Chains A and B, each alone.
Chain A
């Protein structure tokens, strides 16, 4: 159990275009989903937290108008990078939080590598 998928696994886009990344919890309901970003040779940095049906909470320094998050259902969250620029090139990883058996845990997706040219 506890499978989280992301789509696409990698994407190349031109500067100025928008890219949407999907995150799905396949076998459990995710009350909360998280989006992280990881630059080369660095650790994961939390970008935002979203609860199903409500607005996302963004970490300091993350532009909410640039990184649009939608969490419309308990199994799907999307991250849209709007007007992407080369500095947005990164590894984007989502995690889904949900209750499996007796504990509440977070499970990570495989990540999406975004390259903006």
Chain B
């Protein structure tokens, strides 16, 4: 899987949009960008993933640059409960039964300030 680079930590005011960047300059054509987050002492939670197009779900939006070398996860209205470590992972997706474990980097510790 391609390597990702994320800032170590970020602050964001409650109620504002939190924009978390991720660089993945070595991503290959069939690799997806996945985002997970881990709230303290809990298991990771899947947020969103995408290949080329921007994606949106009830939790967040994912903006992928045209050259796919970087992406931004957007939490539109951050709350205190969004304080967590956010992991950007690039990996193959699969429609079959096989699967690989995830390689987690250090992620971004997002702190939402009241």
* C-alpha spacing A109/B44, complex, angstroms: 8
B101 within 8 A of A: yes
Identify whether the interface residues of B are mostly helix, strand, loop, or mixed.
Answer: loop
A60 within 8 A of B: no
Identify whether the interface residues of A are mostly helix, strand, loop, or mixed.
Answer: strand
Which of B42, B99, B102 has a CB less than 8 Å from the CB of A111? B42
Interface residues of B, count at CB 8 A? 24
* C-alpha spacing A77/B100, complex, angstroms: 16
Interface residues of A, count at CB 8 A? 27
A113 within 8 A of B: yes
> Could you tell me which B residues sit within 8 Å of A by CB distance?
36, 38, 41-46, 87, 93-107
| Residues of chain B lying within 8 A (CB to CB) of residue A93 | 43-44
- Of A64-72, A78-86, A97-105, the stretch lying at the interface with chain B is A97-105
* CB <8 Å contact, A103 and B93: yes
